[in-house]
Structure 1
Amino acid sequence: MFTSQQSSVVFNHLTLRWPDGSSALTNITAAFTPGTTGLIGANGTGKSTLLKLISGELNPTSGTVETTGQVGYLPQELSWHLDATVAEVLGISTQLSALQAIEAGSTNQADYDALDEQWDIQSRAEAALGQIGLPEVSLDRAAGTLSGGELMLVALAGLQLADYQIVLLDEPTNNLDTRARHLLYDALQQWKGTLIIASHDLALLDLMDQTAELHHGELRVFGGNYSGYQEYLEQEQAAAEQVLRTAQQKQKIEEKQRAEAQTKLARRRRYADKDFENKRKPKVIMQQRKTEAQVSAGKLRGMHDEKVSEAATAAQRAKDAIRDDRLIRIDLPDPMVPANKRLLELCNAGESIAELRGPQRMALIGANGVGKSRMITELLEGTQRSWGSGLRAFTSRIGYLPQRLSFEDENESALDFVQGAAPESARQQVQAQLARFLLRGTAANRKLGDLSGGERFRVKLASLLLAEPAHQLLILDEPTNNLDIQTVDALVSAVSNYHGGLLVVSHDERFLERLDIEIWAELDDEGLSLRRSVMM
């Protein structure tokens, strides 16, 4: 039994199977301590499922989840009606209505019961909104008038007001702009109690006290932030690779010694057979020696076989300890973009403020709702009403990866879809290229509709990067939304090998930093402007 007086969440042999018999989580035994914990893992490993088990939304098939205190849970998708008020999102509408009724003169006992002695509920709610960076948001404002980031922050303030001892957040920074992300970071750093956050946001994960990873059905808890955990993993993997090399060398030595022993035994057997044929000694003695030799040879073979088997087992254990988290490594078609070729121009107030030339990298940043995606749509459709502020392309060979991935025919195979982008390439060649996009074997022949989110993303990315003729300009619109860390790593790896121009719209500062961005453009209500870096 896994227990600890310092733990606020304890899993004992936790197992969950879905109604069809498939396994979601198996025999998880671990604990989360008070403080902040970043829960990481590839999409599909069970992070959201684990949070639902902690919250009580799901019940385990076997094993237990023990929590010390009330649990508050904020899922990925907030399902508030657009006409709901901020007070309702905060979870205080009943108390607020009761307070207003009492202040208006009500003596109804039901109002006093609903208020439950929370006479300062309005001031505490307004203070909570102020602390989270939204002092201008009124309690009677409609949720539908808030941005996605503001709505997430209001919901988070509601968890603070409810005073939960354990709070669970599932991908809280998805779709948040830079300002909302930093407000969230500030709020979480001041959080009291136990906070468990499933996230792929590296900046957020580096603010955590500890890191928990779901990997191949195992939950590992590390006493440090994400960067510390990655450093630990690198050291662990380096040691595991050394153990593997040693084990493989040991296996080779044992196999060599077994072969040498078998050669010696074969030579002795030939000599004994020759003596037997030449009748150099009495038949009884030779038969006895032959039997003894066979017994001795059998023991010797058994000893060497056992040593080889033990060495092979040790080598396999060492190999199993090494992770196989491959990145995309691929030779892409050369878009043949001269270093000084003008691909894209940024205009503001009728004047050119920047140009993207050759294989340069440009980032377009700005708050949610300011019009970044609309500007890209106008560029692609050629529907700009004026060139006062906007983007102008000087190539028609543009590849576009939108925020929301969709396919016209969900029944089409991944291989056929990518083949359509590269019709001149042999099918075997496209299949080999897909394998290098981590779509191996049967995955390439599966229907698009049956692929995971990460697989769908890699299919779309492959179709853009392998297109014939190669795109000279690639546009990515919020590409890291809903991607796990491994898929983001794969995206960075693939794009780093792309020799055309790149325009990226993103709020993910860590991701942008990894792309070696050369031009930073910001869109706000005043139009386009240039920045020296992403840091704000």
Structure 2
Amino acid sequence: MAHPTTSILCTDLRFEWPDGSTVLDGFHLAVGPGRTGLIGLNGAGKSTLLRLLAGELTPASGTVRVDGELGYLPQGLTLDTGQRVDEALGIRAARAALHAIESGDTDERHFTAVGDDWDVEERARETLDRLGLDRLDLDRTTGELSGGEAVLLHLAALLLRRPDVLLLDEPTNNLDRRARALLYEAVAGWQGALVVVSHDRELLQHVDRIADLRDGEVTWYGGNFADYERTVAAQQETAERLVRAAEADVQRQKRDLAEARIKLERSASYGKKRAVTRNDPKIFAGKFKRQAEETAGRVKGMHTERLTEAKERLTAAEDAVRDDAEIRIDLPRTAVPEGRTVLNLDHVRLTHGGTAHLELRGPERVALVGRNGAGKTTLLRTIAGELSPVEGEVGTPVPLRYLPQRLDLLDDRLSVVGNVKAYAPAAGDNTVRARLARFQFRGGRADQPAGTLSGGERFRATLAALLLADPPPQLLLLDEPTNNLDLASVRQLTQALASYQGALIVAGHDLPFLRGIGVTRWLELDGDLRTVDPM
């Protein structure tokens, strides 16, 4: 049995996919009440773990125990567009029974359906209001909801059930700033056990502890994400200091071993000369030789052992340093001179009804913000030429590339190298591989089929294909680029865009990321496109 203070208990858990690839093996986890932020690299198994906890996947071996009722908000949620709002909330039967009783029908089935939930409608309206869905009619269908509203509606359904354990997988993906703030409040006020997988640093400020899933094990850190970052930074500083000390020790042991060998060789040479000079009998000469060889063996063995131990300490020290390698995209051909026009929107009316008038010059960095459904993706697709404006002119006098949210630009059958060559057919194999190394695709990694890449790897490969294209883009359009990226990948992307020399337009809601890439102009799309103060 689980301990009374343990809400989730995993014991000796093993899970593998049908192709035989193992995600977790001998995995143990105990989660108590309170809010837990589960983080880790893309492909570490975070979403898989939540699906195991929710019962959507079955482990090959081991056990999963959840104390009480469980609620689960999956990633990539989709709603049945023909479903009613009260049905999505799980209260349609109770509402129908309540209305029947109020109209005078005293059938026992209605009282059974209502149970003790006589205020179900009031609670539903209160929950919807709290999540910013006050405009929703319980009798309408969900077909008109945006992706962000669908997430909030599903969360409202979970809150109405009042589960003991709540699992959230990347809940802020596709949520605008207002919706994110409402979700933050819901998480901050949660009283039961909650496990949230997220790369949203602001959301992770509202948790009580961080669980870092790395190499099949969880390491715990008390406090919120800011506390976690401080702790990890201190640990990494110590680890890097130990690496430097271990490297110096290895070099010292190598010198000591070399010096010992030189001394032993000199001593052996001296012994031979002395034996010849003194004309020692062969029996004594042989004895002296054996003693010298034994001494030499002990000395060499001692120094070799010390060198081996020093190398082992260096390996252990290096293992403690996290390898979050940087992406470097300092590509000179993407540079845009100051003052050069890269985009001109001349009184453009978009297909969703909004209007945009904009001139972009030089290597500007524009953040495009706005509520869900405001038309940010429509605007980017119009600039990219995928959609035609209802009226007005779109001028793009420089090469541009568009990275959509879906990351569906790669051919899954081709390797990473093959996909890049598709965008730059004139480039030689060696040139492509040298450039891919900047994106951390080296050796065999560059030959992986795109269909086998993790989320973070796929993002890097797509970014590489666009940036290494011929001609290289001097205007880069990114739509919600941090969605589904782990925290290390977000850092890599921030560092990569810092070295990009072209113009940028980035649509997103991740304010820390937008601030980190050095935005020079903030634009908000709310009907019309307008300049707003920095956020």
Query: Would you call these one fold, judging by a TM-score over 0.5?
Result: yes
CA distance in 1, matches of 2:347, 2:210: 44
Q: Secondary structure at the match of 1:202?
A: coil
- State the 1:158 CA deviation: 1.5
Contact 1:14 1:28 in 2 (8 A): yes
CA distance in 2, matches of 1:117, 1:31: 33
Q: Secondary structure at the match of 2:157?
A: helix
- State the 1:314 CA deviation: 1.1
Q: Alignment length, in residue pairs? A: 529
Name the CA shift for 1:176/1:336 in 2 (closer, same or farther; >3 Å).
closer
Structure 1 residues 237-252: aligned runs within 5 Å: 237-252=236-251
CA distance in 1, matches of 2:15, 2:390: 55
Residue 388 of structure 2 aligns with an amino acid whose one-letter code is: T
Name the CA shift for 1:335/1:22 in 2 (closer, same or farther; >3 Å).
closer
Residue 430 of structure 1 aligns with an amino acid whose one-letter code is: V
Q: Secondary structure at the match of 1:144?
A: coil
Asked whether 1:530 is paired with 2:524, we answer no
Residue 340 of structure 1 aligns with an amino acid whose one-letter code is: G
More moved, 4-13 vs 479-488: 4-13
CA distance in 2, matches of 1:286, 1:373: 90
Residue 385 of structure 1 aligns with an amino acid whose one-letter code is: V
Q: Partner of 1:512 in structure 2? A: 514
Q: Partner of 1:372 in structure 2? A: 376
CA distance in 2, matches of 1:282, 1:378: 99
Q: Partner of 2:71 in structure 1? A: 72
Name the CA shift for 1:394/1:52 in 2 (closer, same or farther; >3 Å).
closer
Q: Partner of 2:442 in structure 1? A: 440
- State the 1:188 CA deviation: 1.6
Q: Partner of 2:121 in structure 1? A: 122
Contact 1:401 1:476 in 2 (8 A): yes
CA distance in 2, matches of 1:352, 1:187: 35
Q: Secondary structure at the match of 2:14?
A: strand
CA distance in 1, matches of 2:156, 2:107: 30
CA distance in 2, matches of 1:205, 1:196: 11
- State the 1:305 CA deviation: 2.0
Asked whether 1:9 is paired with 2:13, we answer no
- State the 1:415 CA deviation: 1.5
Contact 2:78 2:150 in 1 (8 A): no
Contact 1:171 1:198 in 2 (8 A): yes
Q: Partner of 2:364 in structure 1? A: 360
Q: Partner of 1:103 in structure 2? A: 102
More moved, 457-466 vs 43-52: 457-466
Task: Give unpaired runs (5+ residues) of structure 1.
Answer: none
- State the 1:325 CA deviation: 0.9
Q: Partner of 1:333 in structure 2? A: 332
Residue 187 of structure 2 aligns with an amino acid whose one-letter code is: L
Q: Partner of 1:263 in structure 2? A: 262
Name the CA shift for 1:521/1:109 in 2 (closer, same or farther; >3 Å).
same
- State the 1:190 CA deviation: 1.5
- State the 1:375 CA deviation: 2.6
CA distance in 2, matches of 1:476, 1:221: 34
Q: Partner of 1:451 in structure 2? A: 453
Residue 315 of structure 1 aligns with an amino acid whose one-letter code is: L
Query: Sequence identity, in percent?
Result: 43
Residue 370 of structure 1 aligns with an amino acid whose one-letter code is: A
More moved, 57-66 vs 314-323: 57-66
CA distance in 2, matches of 1:79, 1:409: 25
Pick the aligned partner of 1:478 from 477, 480, 500. Answer: 480
Contact 1:347 1:528 in 2 (8 A): no
CA distance in 2, matches of 1:311, 1:502: 48
Pick the aligned partner of 2:505 from 503, 506, 511. Answer: 503
Residue 48 of structure 2 aligns with an amino acid whose one-letter code is: T
Contact 2:498 2:518 in 1 (8 A): no
Contact 1:348 1:528 in 2 (8 A): no
Q: Partner of 1:28 in structure 2? A: 27
- State the 1:349 CA deviation: 9.0
CA offsets, 1:285-316, max 9 Å, x none?
A: 33333333333332222222222221111111
CA offsets, 1:215-269, max 9 Å, x none?
A: 2222111112222212211111110011111122222222222222222222222
Residue 528 of structure 1 aligns with an amino acid whose one-letter code is: L
Residue 252 of structure 2 aligns with an amino acid whose one-letter code is: I
CA distance in 1, matches of 2:478, 2:189: 34
- State the 1:24 CA deviation: 0.8
Name the CA shift for 1:48/1:394 in 2 (closer, same or farther; >3 Å).
closer
CA offsets, 1:94-151, max 9 Å, x none?
A: 2222222222333333322222222222222222112222222222221222222122
Residue 415 of structure 2 aligns with an amino acid whose one-letter code is: S
- State the 1:338 CA deviation: 2.2
More moved, 193-202 vs 397-406: 397-406
Contact 1:348 1:529 in 2 (8 A): no
Name the CA shift for 1:412/1:65 in 2 (closer, same or farther; >3 Å).
closer
CA offsets, 1:441-460, max 9 Å, x none?
A: 12222333333332232222
Residue 260 of structure 2 aligns with an amino acid whose one-letter code is: A
- State the 1:354 CA deviation: 4.5
Contact 2:348 2:394 in 1 (8 A): no
Residue 456 of structure 1 aligns with an amino acid whose one-letter code is: R
Contact 1:95 1:121 in 2 (8 A): yes
Q: Partner of 2:293 in structure 1? A: 294
Q: Secondary structure at the match of 2:522?
A: strand
Please give the TM-score of this superposition, normalised by the length of structure 1.
0.91
List 4+ stretches of structure 1 deviating above 6 A.
Answer: 349-352
Contact 1:333 1:465 in 2 (8 A): no
Residue 461 of structure 2 aligns with an amino acid whose one-letter code is: V
Name the Cα RMSD after superposition: 2.5
More moved, 405-414 vs 440-449: 405-414
CA distance in 2, matches of 1:269, 1:25: 57
CA distance in 2, matches of 1:16, 1:488: 28
Q: Secondary structure at the match of 1:300?
A: helix
CA distance in 2, matches of 1:122, 1:138: 11
Residue 145 of structure 2 aligns with an amino acid whose one-letter code is: L
More moved, 130-139 vs 311-320: 130-139
More moved, 81-90 vs 273-282: 273-282
CA distance in 2, matches of 1:383, 1:149: 26
Name the CA shift for 1:528/1:407 in 2 (closer, same or farther; >3 Å).
closer
Task: Give unpaired runs (5+ residues) of structure 2.
Answer: 350-354
CA distance in 2, matches of 1:109, 1:352: 60
More moved, 23-32 vs 437-446: 23-32
CA distance in 2, matches of 1:408, 1:65: 37
Residue 487 of structure 2 aligns with an amino acid whose one-letter code is: I
Q: Secondary structure at the match of 1:142?
A: coil
Contact 2:348 2:390 in 1 (8 A): no
